[in-house]
Amino acid sequence: MPHIVVLGAGVIGLSSALRVQAQGHAVTIVARDFPSGSEIIDAQNQINYTSPWGGAHNRLVPPTNAAEDREHGMSVRTFDYMYAIQARYPEAGITLMKGIEYIENPSDAYRSLTEEKARKQLGMLGFKLLSRRDLPQGVNWGCEYDTWCVNPMVYCSFLLRRFAILGGSVLRREVRDPREVFSWDFEAGPVDVLINASGNGFGDENMFITRGQTCLVANPCSVTVTRQNADGSWTFCVPRGFDGGTIIGGTKEPDNWDPNPSIEVRKELLRKFAATYPQILDRNGNFTVMKDVVGRRPTRKGGMRVENETVDGDKRIIHAYGLGGRGYELSWGLADVVAQLLDEHLNGTSAPPYVSESKSKL
């Protein structure tokens, strides 16, 4: 039986590990960081482990070119998986809800969306354009649709537990170079293929970080709301079910390495969100702040890297990193592509591009 090592235990490594495990391979996850209760994750020490700091919701992004088309396909597949997992494992950390989109200055891609196009071409469920009277002041376009949010560490811990109960092995190690792993001794035998789900890759010149500051509040919310402001900034909330509070966001700051949250930024995020969606405030008109959050989205010029590479003559690596701000919403679609690349390498054939959750072992 081929032995596959997945390097990384963020949402991408965990989804990919489960997906290739379902193909019948022996799988080991090697990583420096693993999911744990978000209350005890060290904000400074684990800032480069992005998955705990994500929202994480699934948003409408209408595709306008081939690369975005591909990503949209991945988001639709992920949507199917999330719905199926939620139905089968209510404890997985996934909550189904409405997504609301508000845009001050909508591009043609949004303006041209009709309910029929959203349903037939983009595969969206529950899509409805909002009328002017339903839009907050300053917003010129809005819609709602069916979507999902996850409580990141509840969800990632669930994936890790499923992986272990299905026979997967786990090793906490930091590596300097993925090639190291090919010379380690594993119970499952030598490494046939390594999947590089390390978030940032190793020395990839196209990688950069996009800092995101958000604020976790205790106020509950039953929808996920995103507002794109005319000045390019974003105002959003992402409910984290399972007693996870609600994320209010957020900044997108390329190449900003500051790990410290700014109180001024927090105040501004909360003020803007309250103006957009006052229903979230408690009966006294307040937020209950739990903590400020700073994360680093693993962003890549030219988009994510997902491809096969042979190094040192015979070592096979499948790269799956650089998901930027969309790791959760593309996770299962990307895991399907990883499984396909693996199958092509091992068998010279291509696996069916999509195995529905009911057919997979998950």
CB of residue 163 to ligand FAD, shortest distance in Å: 13
Among 38, 49, 221, 225, binds ligand FAD (CB under 6 A): 49
In this structure, what token pair is assigned to residue 230? 């005319």
CA distance linking residue 190 with residue 3, whole number of Å = 7
CB of residue 334 to ligand FAD, shortest distance in Å: 9
Among 73, 93, 239, 327, binds ligand FAD (CB under 6 A): 327
**In the complex with ligand FAD, which residue's Cβ is closer, 51 or 340?**
51
- List CB contacts of 190: < 8 A, sequence separation 6 or more: 3, 182
Residue pair 82/94 in contact (Cβ under 8 Å)? The answer is yes
CA distance linking residue 89 with residue 58, whole number of Å = 19
Q: How many CB atoms lie within 10 A of CB 120?
A: 10
Told to check if 299 binds ligand FAD by CB under 6 A, we report no
Told to check if 277 binds ligand FAD by CB under 6 A, we report no
CA distance linking residue 272 with residue 287, whole number of Å = 12
CB of residue 349 to ligand FAD, shortest distance in Å: 27
Size of the site for ligand FAD (CB under 6 A): 38
CA distance linking residue 352 with residue 12, whole number of Å = 20
**In the complex with ligand FAD, which residue's Cβ is closer, 8 or 106?**
8
Told to check if 241 binds ligand FAD by CB under 6 A, we report no
Q: For residue 213, which of 142, 179, 174, 264 has the smallest C-alpha distance? A: 264
DSSP per residue, 50-93 = -GGG---B-------SHHHHHHHHHHHHHHHHHHHHHHH-GGGS
CA distance linking residue 89 with residue 36, whole number of Å = 19
Told to check if 333 binds ligand FAD by CB under 6 A, we report no
**In the complex with ligand FAD, which residue's Cβ is closer, 174 or 231?**
174
Among 4, 11, 339, 341, binds ligand FAD (CB under 6 A): 11
| Alpha helical stretches, state H, 185-326 | 263-276
CA distance linking residue 228 with residue 69, whole number of Å = 21
Among 4, 5, 6, 9, binds ligand FAD (CB under 6 A): 9
Q: Which stretch binds ligand FAD (CB under 6 A): 112-120, 215-223, 322-330, 347-355?
A: 322-330
Among 102, 110, 287, 321, binds ligand FAD (CB under 6 A): 321
Told to check if 329 binds ligand FAD by CB under 6 A, we report yes
Residues near ligand FAD (CB under 6 A): 7-13, 31-33, 49-51, 53-57, 174-175, 197-199, 212, 214, 238, 250, 295, 297-298, 321, 323-329
